[in-house]
A = this chain, B = another copy of it.
Amino acid sequence: MVIGSIPAWESDGETRILLCRRAIEPRYGYWTLPAGFMENGETTAEAAIRETEEEAGAHIQLHPLFSLLNVPHVQQVHMFYRARLLDLDYAAGTESLEVKLFSEAEIPWSDIAFQTVTHTLKFFFADTAKIREGGSYDFHTQDITLPQAGIKP
């Protein structure tokens, strides 16, 4: 079980998301949301906060669970919580080359490490657009059924 967050920073009416560039394999050098394997004795929410602190040095307030993605060919389930970034004092952890805020237009879509992250970001910005028109965030699920190019299942 891989748990992460979508750390959002609101300013000037725009939502920016904190991404980490991976310093480890698989997908070294590609961008991802802060996430990692759940540890024994912690809750999914605690795992999301811990991984965001470890990988992005970021302090967040956790919001509800936003996405659950099955990746059966690697026997994983990925989950992402929405989160509010509390300050801009983030810094790359040992598993990240850099961490950086991206608006929707700035997201490096072709350099995202994992399909689960791509889907989650697309769900997130689609909901953000709906919210400007009075909607609300939904909970999203998605099955990733084919291996990604470049990743051994």
- Which A residues fall within an 8 A CB radius of B? 1, 38, 40-46, 64-65, 68, 70, 72-73, 75, 77, 139, 141, 143
Contacts and interface: CB of A to CB of B under 8 A. Distances in A.
B40 A68 contact: no
Contact of A143 (B45, B70, B75, B143): B45
A73 B41 contact: yes
A70 B45 contact: yes
Contacts of A40: 75
A1 B65 contact: no
A108 to B, nearest CB: 28
A68 B65 contact: yes
B75 A41 contact: yes
Contacts of A72: 41-43, 46
Contact of A1 (B64, B73, B77, B143): B77
A8 to B, nearest CB: 19
26 contacts: A1-B1, A1-B77, A38-B77, A40-B75, A41-B72, A41-B73, A41-B75, A42-B72, A43-B70, A43-B72, A43-B143, A44-B68, A44-B70, A44-B77, A44-B141, A45-B70, A45-B141, A45-B143, A46-B72, A64-B139, A64-B141, A65-B68, A65-B139, A65-B141, A68-B68, A139-B139
